[in-house]
Structure 1
Amino acid sequence: MVGPAVDRRIRLHGKPRSAFITTCHTLVYGASLDETGTGMNHGESEEWLSARPNWRRWGWYGLGVVVLASIVGSVNRGLIALIAEPMKQSMALSDSEIGLLTGLALTFVTAIATYPVGWIADRFDRRWLLAGCILIWTVATVGFGFATSFRGLFLCAMGIAAGEAVLGPVTYSMIPDLFPKERWVAANFVFVTATLLGTYLGMALGGSLFGWVAANAAVLPGFVAGLEPWRATIVLSALTGPPLAGMVFVMRLVRMTPPHAKSAQSGVAAYFRENARTTVGIFFGFGLSYAAFGAQAQWNAVILQRLFKETPAQIGQFLGVFGAAAAVAGVCLAWLAVRSLRARHGDETPMLVARLALLCALVVSLPIPFASKAWHFYAVILAKIGFTFMANSLSPTVLQLMSPSPIRGRVVALGGMVTIVAASFMPWLVGLLSDHVFTGPRGIILAMAAVAIPGLAGGLLALHWGSRTLGETIARAQAREVHP
């Protein structure tokens, strides 16, 4: 545990590093750096470096490959949201079915597949696993483009989700095999930032690809000639898979996985019993708020096309560029707010800032049902992206503060699972309401508002309720750190 003597900072190579960077490390590994900022003793460092004499070249190459894999995965997911409206018209799908594809098939299956993939990653060559999963999502993406029924689309979407489930556990377990421990912070920060930006970069690339396909149907390769633009676009997006898998095989890994001691399950159970109010409030608060954001994000492109006659290319390019800018602005604003308020509010500062940001997100969401022009809706989207990322970028910090290091990884994982499960069903609920309750011309935007706004309000209430005991939970966690 880093003591007050270093003013909540760690030192890396003799230079101070802020708690924000420490958070990036603990987000991934569920453990804080030691006071030297490395977590590696001299003997361990020598052993690592002797096994990898060319780690600088191959480490950054490997990180570049997994970042590229993350971006490709984001392109696939972003494309499915962008082509949802033309796909609906082409295959006579209901909004409920679209919601099942973008929610249950893609998100919930990822949650289910993550644990088996992580188990395999600890026991077999991670390059084979990563390359194999890339090929799985490549085949599933091609199948999605040629599917002729909702069942076929659903099964292929599940295949895409299962393949992409590899990115989290494999990447986070690869980094220690690519870099010495004193470089983990930088490597993790690069990957986390690239993943954040990759979501919107993927949307921009996907929108550009759709626009190019629609404008150049006559010169498309034979295997996609004659396909509808949405089908051709999704199939062409899969062509990056085989070269990417080949790049994975070129990576040089030397596994140096240290044995981990088993923590008693009774310790985890005792923690949750002792801190029931805090954990339930925080888990469901952040889970509902992020799921409400996801419910809107999955339907933004459909609403913009159906109500405001925007094209997928226009939507992807605009949200790809300006959505990324809004997300980065939100994360930076969160860091500045925490840094400014920490002296007054201590360890509860991240929660305070997150709640204020979500309150702002709720306020800017209220005009959604009344948006009458595309720019009105775009403005709401960008404001909500900024405030939501401002809040949810702090959720790992809150989880780390409230959990002692021996069980931190499991606490963070369980909090993430609540978010994933909630995010899996909210897009489907929007579609269900659009089909059966709000059936008028503006039914889809009313259905989305009816899910996203109450979901965000419910998340805020849950966070407020859980925050009442957060200070006590943090104190217990810190006491356990000091007195193991």
Structure 2
Amino acid sequence: MDMTSRTDLTAAKPSQVSIELAATERVIQRAAYRAGVLACYGLAVLLTANFYGLVVRQMLNLIAPGVQSSLGISDLQIGMLQGLGMAVFACIASFPMGWLADRYGHRLLLAIGVGIWSLATFLYALQDSFGGLFAGTVGIAIGEAGLVPIIYAMIPDLFPQNRRNTANLIFYGGSLFGAGIGMALGGAILEWLAASPGSLPQWLSGVDSWRIAMVVIALPGPLLFLLVATMPLASHAPPVHATQNGDAGEMLGFASYAQTHWRTLACVCGSIFAIAVAMTSALIWFPIALPRAFGIDPATVGLGLGTAVTAATLIGVFLPGIALKFGRRGGLTAIKATSFFLWLTPLPAIFLPFVNSPFQAYMVAALQGAMGVAGSALMPGIFQDLAPSALRARVMTLLGVANALALAASPLAVGMISTLMSGPRGMLYSIAIVSIPSLLAAAVLMSLAQRPYAATVRAVRSRFAGEEA
């Protein structure tokens, strides 16, 4: 065989370098697949933790009549349990929980939170006084205070940037549907206890059904604690050296960060507060306004409004993903998409004072809700981008605080205006008077946020530019 033939044979054989490159590529692909599977498993655990928290919260509402009948507490005391006990203490505890999560680990604090509210749920069932119930409610509120902020802070630890919005939308949609499923599950448990007293063990005879229900939903707590505590984290965030070393540097100190980027935080948080005021006003007062305006049965309103809200949720959750997918080439970012949807949200609300039938009111609710959900669904991703990794849980708590303040303010605002309105349509006018300016304010603030937001994101990314993979 001549030299030329040998050269040709040698060239035809794959080189050692090519073999090594192919093997390395297979290893990388397997590692990426494994990371994706672990990330999806982690998201499933986070969805389960959030759903469990929603079931507990919905059960507190469902057992209120039984608690009143059993212990003889007043409507005012029930209101204190649902409002002061839950909303106020959850708001107060959210930032300390966020600080602890940033300091000692998001997974650890989320697991501790699950443990706290599971234990508080169990202890709630053992109480015989308003003071004991209030203490149990506060325990549940403290345990749940960091739930959503910490989960949104953990999503960047599970998913890379190009998959983060998808994970956020899945969790956001799961939260919306989970609230309804949690209500249905809690109602089913109470109905089963009421219909099957003879099927319970003898030692439970005579025990109030609300106590048994609270114990039942507390039982999965230890298992969920273990799932959260052991869930894998494939961090895609830059390392948090300063927090681990106790260095509250210029960029990593929350007060310094908030002072430097106050325009961004004020605009974004103000927009969240405004959209939440409008959406809460509609959800809370529509079931009262429509029977007054059209003389229909509240059960009919529940069916029609529930259908409208479900449709709005489905549409609103999918719209942002579609918009970002097809608008990416045109430079559409999450904050621009959010601003676009928020500008559309006031349009259906303008027609609310002029509706002539329940169907028209449901259509207004569905269209306004779909645009509002579409705008709100991208908010967590906006916060994730503007927050340094060392402060992410604390920054995410601002999202919860803004929503909690809106939940406290919107019913009061509509109720005060409604007292000044006469006639059966007065409540509809009151909802419109509160909602339309709030929706416009949300859109204006989100538009004003775009320039300072871009500056904040650049500052955060440049701070960790040398550490990012």
TM-score by length of 2: 0.65
Alpha-carbon distance in 1 for matches of 2:438, 2:89: 22
Structure 2 SS opposite 1:344: coil
Which position in structure 2 is the counterpart of 1:459?
A: 442
Q: What is the 5 A alignment of 1:298-309?
A: 298-303=284-289, 308-309=296-297
Residues 244 and 288 from structure 1, CA distance in 2 versus in 1: closer, same or farther, beyond 3 angstroms?
Answer: same
Which position in structure 2 is the counterpart of 1:245?
A: 221
Residues 359 and 224 from structure 1, CA distance in 2 versus in 1: closer, same or farther, beyond 3 angstroms?
Answer: farther
Q: Which of residues 311, 335, 338 in structure 1 aligns to 2:299?
A: 311
Cα drift, residue 127 of structure 1: 4.8
Structure 2 SS opposite 1:343: coil
Cα drift, residue 245 of structure 1: 1.6
Q: Which of residues 382, 399, 403 in structure 2 aligns to 1:398?
A: 382
Which position in structure 1 is the counterpart of 2:402?
A: 419
Residues 235 and 318 from structure 1, CA distance in 2 versus in 1: closer, same or farther, beyond 3 angstroms?
Answer: farther
Q: Is the 8 A contact 1:331 1:389 kept in 2?
A: yes
Q: What is the 5 A alignment of 1:342-421?
A: 342-345=328-331, 349-371=333-355, 373-401=357-385, 403=386, 405=388, 409=392, 412-413=395-396, 415-421=398-404
Deviations 1:424-475 (A, max 9, x none): 4224424641674447655554444333332222222222333354455555
Which position in structure 2 is the counterpart of 1:19?
A: none
For structure 2, the 5+ residue unaligned runs are 1-23
Structure 2 SS opposite 1:193: helix
Which position in structure 2 is the counterpart of 1:29?
A: none
Which position in structure 2 is the counterpart of 1:137?
A: 121
Cα drift, residue 387 of structure 1: 0.9
- After alignment, is 357-366 or 271-280 more displaced? 271-280
Deviations 1:27-62 (A, max 9, x none): xxxxxxxxx999x99xxx9xxx9xxxxxx89x9888
For structure 1, the 5+ residue unaligned runs are 1-12, 16-35, 50-55
Count residues in correspondence: 420
Structure 1 SS opposite 2:89: helix
Which position in structure 1 is the counterpart of 2:315?
A: 329
Q: Which of residues 279, 282, 286 in structure 2 aligns to 1:296?
A: 282
Q: Is the 8 A contact 2:85 2:138 kept in 1?
A: yes
Mapped pair 1:167 → 2:147 = yes
- After alignment, is 180-189 or 104-113 more displaced? 180-189
Give the counterpart letter for 2:220 in structure 1. L
Alpha-carbon distance in 2 for matches of 1:191, 1:469: 23
Q: Is the 8 A contact 2:272 2:403 kept in 1?
A: no
Which position in structure 1 is the counterpart of 2:180?
A: 203
Which position in structure 1 is the counterpart of 2:14?
A: none
RMSD: 5.4
Mapped pair 1:70 → 2:71 = no
Which position in structure 2 is the counterpart of 1:3?
A: none
Cα drift, residue 66 of structure 1: 4.9
Residues 138 and 169 from structure 1, CA distance in 2 versus in 1: closer, same or farther, beyond 3 angstroms?
Answer: farther
Which position in structure 2 is the counterpart of 1:30?
A: none
Q: Is the 8 A contact 1:110 1:161 kept in 2?
A: yes
Alpha-carbon distance in 2 for matches of 1:83, 1:441: 32
Alpha-carbon distance in 2 for matches of 1:374, 1:152: 43
Q: Which of residues 425, 428, 433 in structure 2 aligns to 1:450?
A: 433
Alpha-carbon distance in 1 for matches of 2:187, 2:357: 23
Which position in structure 1 is the counterpart of 2:265?
A: 279
Cα drift, residue 357 of structure 1: 0.9
Give the counterpart letter for 1:394 in structure 2. L
Q: Which of residues 174, 193, 196 in structure 1 aligns to 2:170?
A: 193
Deviations 1:85-110 (A, max 9, x none): 9999x98858x996x76665433422
Deviations 1:391-413 (A, max 9, x none): 12222343445x37466626843
Give the counterpart letter for 2:142 in structure 1. A
Rg bigger for which structure?
2
Structure 2 SS opposite 1:392: helix
TM-score by length of 1: 0.64
Which position in structure 2 is the counterpart of 1:261?
A: 242
Structure 2 SS opposite 1:462: helix
Structure 2 SS opposite 1:266: coil
Structure 1 SS opposite 2:230: coil
Give the counterpart letter for 1:409 in structure 2. R
Q: Is the 8 A contact 2:165 2:381 kept in 1?
A: no
Cα drift, residue 191 of structure 1: 8.2
Mapped pair 1:114 → 2:119 = no
- After alignment, is 357-366 or 201-210 more displaced? 201-210
Give the counterpart letter for 1:238 in structure 2. M
Residues 218 and 259 from structure 1, CA distance in 2 versus in 1: closer, same or farther, beyond 3 angstroms?
Answer: closer
Give the counterpart letter for 1:384 in structure 2. Q
Structure 1 SS opposite 2:93: helix
Deviations 1:110-152 (A, max 9, x none): 2322344456663878656523322313544787xx98x8x99
Alpha-carbon distance in 1 for matches of 2:197, 2:291: 25
